Amino acid sequence: MPRWYSGLGRSMLAYTLLYPSANIVQQSYALKKSHSEKSLDWPQAGRFMLYGGLFHSVLSHTWMFAATKWIPGADPKALALKVIADQIIFAPAALSSFYIGLTALEFKSTDEIYHEWRTKMPKTWAVSRTKNTVKPA
């Protein structure tokens, strides 16, 4: 069995559980904060489960495998290069797949998918870059 597959099943299981769990927590918080009488959107949680378990897990697993091969080592220089590569290469791809994938799972049109990606992805990437920046102590 190729090394790439090593741990993929665990990754898929983890994302199958984490993505819908996070969505349910987010929905619960939003409903409680708005004092809404609505109930949880279980189909939405199901879409998060499908996306997380079948797509994002494989994408993340593949990225980690590739990044480790391209930038070997665990010294501070290698770790800094991995963080930079992660923010410049992987983050835009992962965020794009997130918005495109989840919107497509709602059976929206290509124009709606593009609009969702165009309005949300750049803002999310900008926030993730500023919040995850390594700052000197």
Q: Give the tokens for residue 29.
A: 């918080």
The answer to whether residue 137 scores a pLDDT higher than 60 is no
Contact in structure between 90 and 61 (CB atoms under 8 Å): no
Position 128 scores a pLDDT of: 76
Residue pLDDT, tens place only, 75-130: 999 999 999 999 999 999 999 999 999 999 999 999 999 999 999 999 999 887 66
Number of structural domains, the chain? 2
pLDDT at 4: 61
> Within this chain, do residues 135 and 76 fall inside the same structural domain, yes or no?
yes
Q: Using the predicted structure, report yes or no on whether residue 11 has a pLDDT greater than 80.
A: yes
Residue 66 lies in a domain: no
Whether 40 and 81 map to the same domain: the answer is no
In a domain, 33, yes or no: yes
Whether residue 91 is found in the same domain as residue 37 = no
Q: Do 82 and 31 sit in the same domain of this protein?
A: no
Give me the helices (H) in the chain, please. 8-34, 42-50, 57-70, 76-85, 91-105, 110-131
Amino acid sitting at position 64: M
Query: pLDDT, tens digit, for every residue of 46-73?
Result: 999 999 999 999 999 999 999 999 999 9
CA distance 44 to 19: 11
Structural domain harbouring 10: 1-54
- The C-alpha atoms of residue 102 and residue 118 are separated, in whole angstroms, by 14
131 and 87 share one domain: yes
